Chains A and B, each alone.
Chain A
Amino acid sequence: MKNLTLSLSLLSLTALGACSSINYDDPNKVETVNLQFGSTDLQSMADKMVQSLLSSPGLQYIDHSGKGEDKRVVLYTGNVNNRTGEHIDTSSITDTIRTSLLKSGRFRIAASNQGQDELGSQVRFQMESGRVDPNLIRQFGKQIGADAVMYGNLRSIEKERQRSLESGGKKTEDVYYKFTLEVVNIETSEVIWMEEKEIRKSKKTGLFGG
């Protein structure tokens, strides 16, 4: 009987260990796989910035003589410098912000660097390749000029406390992210909007944890 119980216990453990599967899951779910920058951090940062941009009275419109009826702010999204110790593709944060701003209908968005590169090669193709019907070649030099530029920084502070008697054998890791974004009026160089988003994540590992 003892042997049977032992065998069954081992069998159950093996079954649990063998459990492996691939599933599709909700991209909006909270992710805490590890302490590194993750999808929930990206979404939280982008959300905070979008909400602040949409509700800022200073970004309702920018008017100048060249503008027609549409007084919405034309925004160019520049770079977000990654000043953390991690490899983070910060353009994914600005992509999410651009998408939300454009869909909100509150802003006009000027083409990004990637867009300008693509446009440049298409202009050259239309003008120089000789393959495009001259009647269908588009007029160039009509791009919208941005009213303001958005750029920012992502910084982090990482700390760790090793296991000790004082900590009861627990190891503590802590990471603090600060994402700062600002919008500057191109003509005046005045900062017309600025926002910060902070995130703190910490991990405590027990005596026998990895």
Chain B
Amino acid sequence: MNHKLLSLSRAPLFAAGLALLTACVSEPRGSYNTVRGSETSGESTRFSPNRELENSLETRNIVKVRKDGMLIIQFELVNKLDRALSFQWGIEWYDRAGLVLDYGPGHYSPERLSARQSKTIKIVAPSPEAESWKLQVGSRDEVR
């Protein structure tokens, strides 16, 4: 009985110890969902490990066109929820060999869509060499 009481009294100590250990560690805030496409392939490929975001946000109507030598892609982001949704997206471009074109719009753009709102985004590739892209949509993860 005394032994049990001792264990119980140690529980808060254990919790406090755990709090001390985890106090400086941040929690992951959700992974990115990816849509890959290229100028030559018909269908884009999707990888959606963030199910919560996948259920809230749809990426649809992807259009690709080469105009005046530059590859342009357009896509529609649709908030499927009845409340506002905040997220961020970013895009990477690759040349024919699959090497990343590490300049141009490489940063993440913050986005906020009202309930059931959609937004069409058009992006021009940073170079005529661009032939494929990777669009990443994820939870807001900001430097605050």
- Residues of chain A touching chain B, judged by Cβ–Cβ distance below 8 Å, are 1, 4-5, 8, 11-12, 15-16, 18-19, 21, 25, 27-33, 39-40, 43-44, 47, 50-52, 54-55, 57, 60, 99-100, 103-106
Contact = CB atoms under 8 A, between A and B. Distances in A.
17 contacts: A12-B16, A15-B19, A16-B19, A25-B143, A27-B107, A28-B107, A29-B107, A30-B140, A43-B105, A43-B107, A47-B104, A50-B126, A54-B124, A55-B67, A57-B68, A103-B104, A103-B127
Given A55-B124, A103-B127, A29 B19 contact: no
Interface in B115-144: 123-129, 140-144
A179 B12 CA distance: 56
Given A4-B12, A12-B20, A104-B127, 5 more contacts: A29-B108, A39-B107, A55-B70, A60-B68, A106-B128
A65 B142 CA distance: 52
**B123, B124, B127 — most chain A CB neighbours (10 Å):** B124
3 smallest beta-carbon distances between A and B, as pairs: A51-B124, A28-B107, A43-B107
Interface of B: 9, 12-13, 15-16, 19-20, 23-24, 67-68, 70, 72, 88, 90, 103-110, 123-129, 140-144
Contact of A16 (B9, B23, B90, B107): B23
Nearest to A55: B124
A44 B70 contact: no
B143 A28 contact: no
B125 to A, nearest CB: 8
Contacts of B16: 8, 11-12
Given A47-B105, A55-B68, A104-B128, A8 B24 contact: no
A33 B105 CA distance: 21
A106 B29 CA distance: 39
B26 to A, nearest CB: 10
Contacts of B19: 12, 15-16
Nearest to A17: B23
Contacts of B70: 54-55, 106
B108 A28 contact: yes
Contact of B90 (A28, A31, A60): A28
A21 B24 contact: yes
Contact of B88 (A21, A30, A51): A30
B24 A105 contact: no
**A16, A21, A51, A100 — most chain B CB neighbours (10 Å):** A51
A43 B107 CA distance: 7
